[in-house]
Amino acid sequence: MSELLELALRFLVVGALAFGGGGAALPLIERLSVAETHWLTPQEFAVGVGFAYATPGPVLTMAPFIGYRVAGLTGAIVSTLAVFLIPVLLAGAAAGLIARVRSTPWFQGFGAYAGAAAIGLLGLTLYALAKPVVEVHPALLLGSVPAFLLAMRGISPLLLIVAGIVVGAVVGTVVA
């Protein structure tokens, strides 16, 4: 199978199964790009996720990142189009249907369970992102505790990013 076809098929699957947002899809993207195809090493994936979270939409950024690593600019374009094809088609097809069934009990029940599934996938994402960090040095996770606590208090994300840079520089100096 050609690399472009494999990229397209794999990112069609990601697009079809990425329920709950980009963060919820990252474990699937990791499995497809690291464990199954070895397109990326775990460290390269972690770096890609880090850069992806500096931009809006981690899946939007990870798809072209992986596509580019596999097949250059053409791979980036193919993987990006593939990851969005099914969601765009489904959104267009579902718009009229949702208006008709919005008030039915089964639709409201689906929404409740879909939310629980998204929370579970976000938990898996946290595990997938933390595991390589713990393997490098467990103390690196200590910087995430104050950031989490500050975020819970409503501190500006910009200040958290600056604080993260400072903590990373200090921890990096101490660990190195």
Q: Which of 82, 111, 92, 107 is nearest to 19 (CA)?
A: 111
- Looking up tokens 């990006």, which residue turns up? 80
Do the Cβ atoms of 43 and 49 come closer than 8 Å? no
- Write out pLDDT tens, residues 18-37: 776 667 788 889 999 999 99
What are the pLDDT digits (tens) for 56-92?
Answer: 777 778 999 999 999 999 999 999 999 999 988 988 8
